[in-house]
Every structure is written in structure tokens, then in C-alpha cells.
Amino acid sequence: MARKGGNNELSNLTPTLTITLWRAQKFHINHHTHHYTTNMSDINFMVVDGSLADLVAELTAYIETLGCDELEANCQRALAAGEEPKVFELITQQLPLLNKSSEQQFESVWQLCLHVFSFSESFEWVDAVLKAISGHSNLPRSFNGPAAAGQAVVAVLASLFNMLSSSHDDAQLANTLLAALTTAEETGNLHLLAGQLKSDQTVTWINTWQIEADVRDQLIAKIYSALVQLDEPAKALALLVAAVGNTQTSTFPMTCKLVQQALKSDHVYDFGSILALEPVEDLKTTEQRLFELLTTVASGEVAKMQSLAAGDAKSLIEENDFDAESLLAKTRVIALANLAAESPEIEYSIIAKNLDVSLDTVELWVIDTIRAGLVEGRLSQTKQSFAVHRAQKSGPIAKADWEVISQKLDVWKKSINDVLHVVKQARENANAQKRKIAA
């Protein structure tokens, strides 16, 4: 099947969905199906052999035991008449019955079914498979609870995804991944996809697949939610940053979500990479209140943040489920980092004034800022001051900041030139001395 979508440098790469199965499985229908199983956290995989006629006979005979009459005979007649598409159509109509399989047979019969479909020249059956196996209502009842059932379903969906990789149909790959994510989340099996979700490969798929915007948004939302649940907030936020920064994937709702999550995150204090994104910059005109809140926090403007929380942005904070105290605390931490970036030593009284906090809480705020990774230094209760060893200035870079950087670079350049001049002079003196001795 031809790839649906534009060409790109990754179009020839074959995507592979990797899952981790925490139980070993050995299923057998009959001699046509062979399973090779590794232990514990290794990947479970299967090889199916046999002719199409044999495999169809095996599959349809099994489906008949689940409540379908004459399927095997009808399929064999179609095969005899050379009507293979009819065979796949007949099997497709009975796919929901496979969910009645026993726990021991469920995964293997679905794998056999997928192998039968691999003989088809088209991929029209994919939607029927996804419809039959996806969703909480379609979970097999023979398993001991939704978690066990979900694990088997995710394994089947992973096999389907890997099978579709050669088709290069981005929409089908996306829908299959979305189904696997949904099932894993609903049944408490996100750990099965943890390794895959934490890799950069998944983000690459989303950024390169030629798919509908709403499907892409659903995928990004699902993966973001999964990463948060897997206790990977930094990777979750990085996913949103990558999506917003990509012209193919960036949307207004996603940009707003990125800003919202960055402001809520306990791990984000440097907003430089976010503010540098063009879609975020566009919020200045499309979502002015949210953009103002972002720049206020990112710049460490404590007084303005207090004013916004009490007035203009009060409704915005409530609408977005922000915690006003958390936003103010983040603003104070950034303000302290910016203050530390301007001076090698800061008195407690200066910190208290700039952060609008009591003197006896200054050390706690310094410790919070150190924990945030924005500063390093030493507190002195005797001197009532904080000696700065390192400080990371946060917030948007203003013209004055660039001027300071330019001045420091000029000083550095002059120092280097002075050193080069001294080295050059010393070399010339040494050469002159050698010539004098030689003479």
C-alpha cells in the first residue's frame, strides 16, 4: 500500500511498537501455530506458519465454536472459487466473537487472525479489527479482571502496529497506537508501553506522520497524560514543547495547554525555550491574559503577580485551575534567581524586600531556589547574607540583558587579545635570542 502523505527523510524507516510483557505466555491452537516465548521483561513474540487455506480452516473452525455456523464452509468455497477478498470479508464480520475466547486462547487466536489478514492485498480490514478489539466494552470477559485482559489486548494491538509498519499508512498506524494507549490507560497497563513512550522515537512518529490534526491532538494528549502517570513530567512537557514547536503539529489549544502545564509544573522554572516558540509569542495577541501571566511568572515580577492574582487574572487563574499561591511561589523563586545573577552576595534584607516575604523565611526561599537548580551558594546566618556561587537568570532576555552580555563578551575578547599579544611577544623574544646565540 502506498504511503498516504508527503515525503520526508524518515519515510523509509519502519516504525516498531515495543511493549514489555511481565508474564510468559505459551498458547497453542494446533500444529500450525508456534509460539516462542522469552522470560519476564523480554518481548513476547510468535511465528505462525502454514498455507492460507490451512490457516483459514483453523481460524474459522475455532470461530464456529464461539457461535458462528458454516463460516468454515463458506470460506473454503470462496477460496476454491479464487475469491480471497470474500474470505477476508467473511472473517471480518465475525471478529467480535474472538473476544469470547478463553484466556489461554485469546492472544494466540488473534495473532492467527492477523496472520491470515497478512495475505490480503489491502488493509481495509484494519478498521474492523480496531473496532472489534478496542474499547472497555470489548475487553474479553474470560480473564481475571480488566488488567489481565488489557495486557492481552495491548499485546495484540502491538502486533497489529508492527504488522502495519510495512504498509506506511500513517492514519492506520496512528489509530492503532491510539487504541493501544487508550486500552493501556483504561486497564492500568501503561507500564507495558513505558519504554516506548519515554523514547524520542514516539515523538518522531507523531511529528512525521501525515495524519489529521484531530488525531494528532488526541495522540499527543494521550501520550502526555501517560507520561504524567508514569511520573515523567519533564518528558511530558518536552513532548508539548516539541509539538508546539513543529509547524505541522502546532495548534492554538495545544499552545495554551503547553503554557498551562508549564505554569503548573513543579519542575519548570526556566521558560526561555517556551517563550522562544513562535506560537507562544502569538498568544500575545490571541490570548493576552494567559501570555501576560506567563511572562510575569517567567520574569519573576512578584509585585505584578500579586496584583494579577488579586485582580485582572483572578478569573483566569480560576478558569485554568491554577493555584495562585503556587504561581506566586514560583515567581518568587525565579525573582531570587534573577537577583542572584546580578550580585555575588545578597543580604537577607534585600531578598526579603524583593520577594515581599518576612526576614525569617528568607533562608527557606533560598533553599527552594537551590532545589530548583537555579542557584548555588552559601548561606551565612552570621552575616545575614547569601554568597552566590552560580546563578541562572530566568525569563525573557531583554535588550538590557543583551547589552550586558555584549559588554562581557567585549571584555573577554580584549582579555584574549591581550594574552595573544603577550604570547606573540614572548615567542618573538625567544626567536631573537636564538638568532643571537647562533650568531
Question: Is pLDDT at 19 greater than 70 in this prediction?
Answer: no
Highest mean pLDDT among 164-168, 395-399, 424-428, 433-437: 424-428
pLDDT for res 137: 83
pLDDT for res 66: 92
- Cα 307 from chain centroid (whole Å): 35
Question: Is pLDDT at 396 greater than 80 in this prediction?
Answer: no
d(CA 363, CA 349): 11
pLDDT, average across residues 260-265: 92
142 touches 103 (CB < 8 A): yes
Greater confidence (352 vs 29) lies with: 352
Contacts 24+ apart (CB under 8 A), 402-408: none
pLDDT, average across residues 225-246: 88
Question: Is pLDDT at 14 greater than 60 in this prediction?
Answer: no
Q: What is the pLDDT of residues 114-158, one digit of tens each?
A: 999 999 988 989 999 999 998 888 888 889 899 999 999 999 999
Q: Which residues of 256-269 are buried (b: 16+ CB within 10 A; e: fewer)?
A: bbbbbbbbbbeebb
Give backbone dihedrals phi and psi of 390, rounded to 5 degrees, phi first: -155, 140
pLDDT for res 10: 31
Question: Is pLDDT at 400 greater than 70 in this prediction?
Answer: no
Q: What is the pLDDT of residues 361-380, one digit of tens each?
A: 999 999 999 999 999 999 99
Q: What is the pLDDT of residues 46-63, one digit of tens each?
A: 445 678 899 999 999 999
pLDDT for res 23: 33
Question: Is pLDDT at 87 greater than 60 in this prediction?
Answer: yes
d(CA 270, CA 282): 19
Question: Is pLDDT at 218 greater than 60 in this prediction?
Answer: yes
Question: Is pLDDT at 335 greater than 60 in this prediction?
Answer: yes
Residue 5's SS3 state is coil
123 touches 169 (CB < 8 A): yes
d(CA 194, CA 185): 11
pLDDT, average across residues 168-176: 89
Greater confidence (346 vs 314) lies with: 346
Q: What percent of the chain clears pLDDT 90, i.e. is strictly above it?
A: 51
pLDDT, average across residues 243-255: 82
Question: Is pLDDT at 393 greater than 90 in this prediction?
Answer: no
229 touches 185 (CB < 8 A): yes
Highest mean pLDDT among 50-64, 257-271, 327-341: 327-341
pLDDT for res 291: 95
d(CA 277, CA 259): 11
pTM of the model: 0.69
Environment class of 14 (CB within 10 Å of its CB; exposed 0-12, middle 13-18, buried 19+): exposed
- In degrees, to the nearest 5, what angle opens at C-alpha 324 toward C-alphas 318 and 325? 155
184 touches 134 (CB < 8 A): no
40 touches 59 (CB < 8 A): no
Question: Is pLDDT at 436 greater than 70 in this prediction?
Answer: yes
